[in-house]
């Protein structure tokens, strides 16, 4: 069985931001102590927020279900500490909105629920049982999009899946979360991949890794020689942003193109993030709900950058303090990577399931002097989708949303390559997001 | 090595002092903005600086062939262009924009389109028109719809046609790089006259090619040396500042059409390519193709549009040179094509990822 594909895979467009991974890529992941208090938002996935199952004064244990999924696209939420519910009310959320969250005071007992692993070996379980376990454990895409995993793993029978792609590209600068997981928890991760393969009946399984992570490539390769994992192929990808974009990854590895407005399953593919694969293994074999995850804490204002295993709901302040962040010089704090992450308005915001990193910048890179658009076309050559971003942004800025949509505004993946490349330093992604928001709002209004 | 399944008592974390006693830190106001939070190093002034650097070889060549007068005219044009922009910004109480260096580029390009013998005051008028009317009236950098430098040249051509077409000999005594028997102001005029009088001799024009290539030939300040323009153009393409599509299709189209109409009656002989090579090297084609048709604000943004734009410029240049009243047609070709850029852009929207053409 061929396990190594010597060709380096890539896609059209993209940019080459400085990798900035050297600060943390060699650092072993550390367990971050449970904080004295957690704030766990009920909305941690795309789709409907979970319904709260607890109220003020209730006592909960680690792993206890505190929010049940509501509707088809929604994910369960579990407690990450043992202690008492202080309140269930709106709190600051990474998205910038105020969203209902469960505030829990940690009593320090670290009492856990009785984790319920699958009763039988996953090899003998039916796909439906495995998916059910994943849903019960509240697993969502850990790469940032936070799509409920059990939904993604239940394609309609009209869309057969033949290819499973594990996204270990980690093309965002600074982040080394998936990189460390691939080195430190290789076996668990690959077991998760096999569970995914079983669920989907996928014929082809690839792990895509950018070539700037040679140690992860070596480590994965070592395991793939093992006959247990011989069904998995390694695809070494060119280091280029956004190589880890779902559609870019599919095209780079399989040559297939997801139709405009369609989903990966339309071309027989499912993409799962590497971290997601590892938590799926933990859910199925150990019965762990998703209450902790690995994040990278780094950036110019962070004096001790780290890779940390943190409890969901830990505040940004707690984590940044522990990493010796120079708050007096911090001008911008970002949740996620610098290309697609969210700028935070404050420090009392919790880490959620899709938080892959925390960055503290000592300067405001995106607010440097702006110039008028000179029509240079650098955004056009950078766009992995093939859009003309400057033109769409001009339409949106003039509120000509229909014209913008005619130039395929809705196909924008918001990767930020255009704005990264823009010599006029125009905030193109801002207009893309604004335009898409306007279209969605109009659609919602017309269906009411 | 961490494991997720070892929440044992021994590892039970004490509620840490650092969080329990989280001291209030003085946090400066955090900056909020849409992603991305990192930007490439390249800026608009850097692009302009690249363009200026790319024009240095041509400026140097013009000083070699026309003397210091070329430098004086260039300096005057740059000064007038920057000064005009500064005054207009000041008068309209707008943010000062001369720092983006685009006025410097325009000033140099205006000078590059002038004969070296032009009076300085005329050059200044051309520059003032280029910036004041063709650029600032429409909103400044990026908002102009025609190339300002070419607009300035057209304005001077309309007002001072005699001075604008009076091309002196180079300091080495060469006027048109042609044998003594043929006397015309420029090589393009010579070949046009030769064709119209039926006296075209391919060998006479073949001998002129090296002179055209190195620049020992009468003409405007910037167009004289094809070699110097080529160096600058390749520098801009290699530096990924300009797209190769426009110069390649522009020059390629002119070459192709003059090869079809090469005047020797043959197509696959050495003689048959003398006329097209002559037309590529003579006149303002190189200057126009590398430095003016590629002006970002006035050329298409789509890759396909740039190809159409280059071909359009080439066809118009051929038609004017071959059948028009002027011996040279580069500047009017580009100006005309500037006008259809919005149309070209609209008709050449790129096929996007996953798009099924013809659907809907």
A164: closest CA among A182, A180, A148, A149? A149
From residue B207, give the alpha-carbon distance in Å to each of A254, B179, B230. 57, 8, 21
Shortest distance, CA B32 to any CA of chain A (angstroms): 5
Q: Above pLDDT 70, what percent of chain B?
A: 88
- The pLDDT score that the predictor gives to residue B26 is 58
Cβ atoms B229, B247 nearer than 8 A: no
Contact A110 B13 (CB under 8 A): yes
Count of other CB atoms within 10 angstroms of residue B267 = 11
Contact A321 B22 (CB under 8 A): yes
- Widest CA span of chain B, in angstroms? 105
**Mind listing the pLDDT tens digit for each residue in A135-186?**
999 999 998 778 999 999 999 999 999 999 999 999 999 999 999 999 999 9
- B41 phi and psi angles, rounded to 5 deg: -75, -20
For residues A245-284, b (16+ Cβ closer than 10 Å) or e, as one string? Answer: bbbbbbbbbbebbbebeeebbebbbbbbbbbbbbbbbbbb
Provide, as residue numbers in chain B, all residues whose Cβ is less than 8 Å from the Cβ of A339: 35-38
| Integer Cα distance of A70 and B299 in angstroms | 53
Measure CB to CB from residue A260 to each of B16, B18, B352 and give the nearest one: B352
Most B CBs within 10 A among A16, A28, A36, A356, hence the mutation to make, goes to A36
- The pLDDT score that the predictor gives to residue B4 is 41
Provide, as residue numbers in chain B, all residues whose Cβ is less than 8 Å from the Cβ of A333: 30
The answer to whether residue B294 scores a pLDDT higher than 80 is: yes
- Tracing tokens 């880890």 back to the chain, one arrives at A244
The answer to whether residue B114 scores a pLDDT higher than 50 is: yes
- The pLDDT score that the predictor gives to residue B175 is 57
- The pLDDT score that the predictor gives to residue B10 is 40
**Mind listing the pLDDT tens digit for each residue in B217-231?**
888 999 989 999 999
Cβ atoms A103, A315 nearer than 8 A: no
Q: CATH top-level class for A4-27+127-286?
A: alpha beta
Contact B37 A338 (CB under 8 A): yes
What are the sequence ranges of the domains in chain A?
A: 4-27+127-286, 378-447
The answer to whether residue B179 scores a pLDDT higher than 70 is: no
Question: Which whole number is the average pLDDT over B126-143?
Answer: 96
- The pLDDT score that the predictor gives to residue B334 is 97
**Mind listing the pLDDT tens digit for each residue in B312-346?**
999 999 999 999 888 889 999 999 999 999 999 99
Residues 119-158 of B with CB under 8 A from A: 139-143
| Confidence band of A424 (pLDDT split at 50, 70, 90) | very high
Contact B141 A322 (CB under 8 A): no
- A214-224 and A186-200 helices cross at what angle (nearest 10)? 60
As a whole number, the mean pLDDT across chain B is: 87
| Integer Cα distance of B124 and B130 in angstroms | 10
Q: Above pLDDT 90, what percent of chain B?
A: 66
Greatest mean pLDDT range, A34-43, A361-370, B259-268, B269-278: A34-43
Q: Please tell me the pTM assigned to this model.
A: 0.89
- The pLDDT score that the predictor gives to residue B188 is 86
- The pLDDT score that the predictor gives to residue B197 is 85
Contact A33 B13 (CB under 8 A): yes
Residue A371 pairs in a beta bridge with: none
As a whole number, the mean pLDDT across chain A is: 92
- The pLDDT score that the predictor gives to residue B22 is 41
**Mind listing the pLDDT tens digit for each residue in A258-310?**
999 899 999 999 999 999 999 999 999 999 999 999 999 999 999 999 999 99
**Mind listing the pLDDT tens digit for each residue in B158-172?**
999 999 988 888 888
- The pLDDT score that the predictor gives to residue B346 is 93
| Confidence band of A31 (pLDDT split at 50, 70, 90) | very high
Instruction: Tell whether B68 lies on the interface with A, counting CB pairs under 8 A.
Output: no
Contact B19 A36 (CB under 8 A): yes
Contact A184 B355 (CB under 8 A): no
Contact B15 A33 (CB under 8 A): yes
Most B CBs within 10 A among A309, A360, A371, A437, hence the mutation to make, goes to A371
| Integer Cα distance of B34 and A416 in angstroms | 9
- A127-136 and A186-200 helices cross at what angle (nearest 10)? 120
| Chain A residue closest in CA terms to B42 | A423
Shortest distance, CA A205 to any CA of chain B (angstroms): 22
| Confidence band of B360 (pLDDT split at 50, 70, 90) | very low
Contact A260 B355 (CB under 8 A): yes
| Confidence band of B178 (pLDDT split at 50, 70, 90) | low
From residue A334, give the alpha-carbon distance in Å to each of A30, A73, A187, A432, B3. 21, 27, 31, 19, 27
A30: closest CA among B22, B37, B16? B16
**Mind listing the pLDDT tens digit for each residue in B27-64?**
667 888 888 999 999 999 999 999 999 999 999 999 99
Which ipTM score applies to this complex? 0.88
| Confidence band of A226 (pLDDT split at 50, 70, 90) | confident
| Integer Cα distance of B341 and A274 in angstroms | 46
| Integer Cα distance of A195 and A131 in angstroms | 10
Q: How many CB pairs under 8 A join A and B?
A: 242
| Confidence band of B20 (pLDDT split at 50, 70, 90) | very low
The answer to whether residue A1 scores a pLDDT higher than 70 is: no
- The pLDDT score that the predictor gives to residue A329 is 87
Pairing of β A83-92 and β A59-60: antiparallel
């Amino acid at each position: 069985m061929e396990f190594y594909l010597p060709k380096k895979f890539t896609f059209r467009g993209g940019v080459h931001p400085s990798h900035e991974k050297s600060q943390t890529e060699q650092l072993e992941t550390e367990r971050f102590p449970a904080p004295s208090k957690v704030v766990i938002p009920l909305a941690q996935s795309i789709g409907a927020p979970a319904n709260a199952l607890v109220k003020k004064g209730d006592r909960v244990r680690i792993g206890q279900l505190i929010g049940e999924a509501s509707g088809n696209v929604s994910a369960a939420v579990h407690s990450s500490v043992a202690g008492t519910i202080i309140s269930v009310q709106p709190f600051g959320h990474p998205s910038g909105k105020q969203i209902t969250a469960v505030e829990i005071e940690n009593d320090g007992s670290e009492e856990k629920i009785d984790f319920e692993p699958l009763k039988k070996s996953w090899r003998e379980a039916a796909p439906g049982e495995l998916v059910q376990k994943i849903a019960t454990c509240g697993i969502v895409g850990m790469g940032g999009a936070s799509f409920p995993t059990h939904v993604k793993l239940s394609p309609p029978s009209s869309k057969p899946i033949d290819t499973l792609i594990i996204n270990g590209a980690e093309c965002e600068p600074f982040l080394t979360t998936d990189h460390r997981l691939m080195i430190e928890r290789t076996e668990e991760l690959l077991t998760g991949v096999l569970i995914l393969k079983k669920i989907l009946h996928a014929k082809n399984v690839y792990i895509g890794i950018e070539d700037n992570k040679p140690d992860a490539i070596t480590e994965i390769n070592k395991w793939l020689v093992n006959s247990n994992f011989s069904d998995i192929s390694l695809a070494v990808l060119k280091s280029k942003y956004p190589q880890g974009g779902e559609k870019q990854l599919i095209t780079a590895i399989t040559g297939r193109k997801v139709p405009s407005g369609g989903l990966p399953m339309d071309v027989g593919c499912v993409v799962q993030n590497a971290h997601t694969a590892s938590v799926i293994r933990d859910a199925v074999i150990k019965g762990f709900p998703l209450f902790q995850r690995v994040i990278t804490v780094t950036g110019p204002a962070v004096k001790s950058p780290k890779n940390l295993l943190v409890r969901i709901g830990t505040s940004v302040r707690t984590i940044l303090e522990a990493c010796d962040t120079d708050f007096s010089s911090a001008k911008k704090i970002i949740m996620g990577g610098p290309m697609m992450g969210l700028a935070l308005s404050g420090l009392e915001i919790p880490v959620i399931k899709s938080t892959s990193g925390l960055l503290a910048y000592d300067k405001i890179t995106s607010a440097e002097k702006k110039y008028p658009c000179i029509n240079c076309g650098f955004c056009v050559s950078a766009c992995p989708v093939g859009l003309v971003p400057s033109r769409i942004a001009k339409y949106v800025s003039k509120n000509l949303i229909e014209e913008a949509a005619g130039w395929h505004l809705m196909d924008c993946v918001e990767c930020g390559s255009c704005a990264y490349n823009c010599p006029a330093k125009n905030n193109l992604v801002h207009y893309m997001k604004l335009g898409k928001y306007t279209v969605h709002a109009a659609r919602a209004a017309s269906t009411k | 090595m961490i494991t997720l399944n070892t929440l044992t008592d021994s590892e039970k974390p004490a509620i840490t002092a650092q969080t329990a006693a989280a001291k209030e830190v003085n946090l400066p106001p955090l900056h909020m903005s849409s992603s991305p939070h990192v930007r490439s190093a390249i800026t608009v002034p850097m692009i302009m600086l690249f363009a200026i650097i790319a024009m240095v070889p041509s400026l140097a060549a013009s000083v070699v062939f026309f003397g210091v007068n070329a430098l004086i005219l260039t300096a005057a044009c740059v000064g007038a262009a920057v000064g005009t922009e500064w005054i207009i910004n000041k008068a309209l109480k707008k943010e000062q924009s001369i720092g983006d260096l685009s006025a410097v580029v325009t000033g140099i390009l205006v000078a590059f389109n002038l004969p070296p013998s032009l009076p300085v005051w005329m050059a200044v008028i051309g520059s003032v028109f280029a910036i004041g009317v063709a650029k600032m009236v429409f909103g400044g950098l990026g908002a102009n719809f025609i190339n300002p430098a070419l607009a300035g040249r057209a304005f001077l051509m309309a007002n001072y046609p005699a001075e604008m077409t009076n091309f002196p000999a180079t300091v080495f005594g060469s006027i048109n790089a042609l044998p003594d028997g043929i006397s015309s102001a420029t090589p393009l005029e010579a070949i046009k006259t030769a064709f119209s009088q039926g006296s075209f001799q391919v060998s006479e024009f073949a001998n002129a090619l090296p002179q055209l290539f190195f620049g020992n030939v009468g003409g405007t300040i910037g167009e004289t040396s094809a070699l110097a323009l080529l160096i600058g153009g390749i520098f801009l393409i290699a530096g990924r500042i300009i797209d190769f599509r426009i110069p390649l299709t522009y020059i390629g189209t002119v070459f192709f059409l003059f090869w079809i109409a090469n005047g020797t009656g043959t197509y696959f002989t050495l003689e048959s390519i003398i006329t097209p090579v002559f037309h590529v090297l003579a006149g303002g084609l190189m200057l126009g193709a590398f430095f003016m048709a590629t002006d970002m604000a006035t050329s298409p943004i789509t890759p396909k549009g740039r190809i159409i734009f280059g071909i359009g410029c080439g066809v118009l240049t051929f038609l004017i040179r071959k059948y028009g009243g002027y011996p040279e047609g580069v500047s009017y070709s580009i100006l005309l094509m500037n006008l259809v850029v919005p149309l070209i852009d609209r008709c050449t929207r790129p096929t996007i990822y996953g798009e099924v053409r013809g659907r809907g």
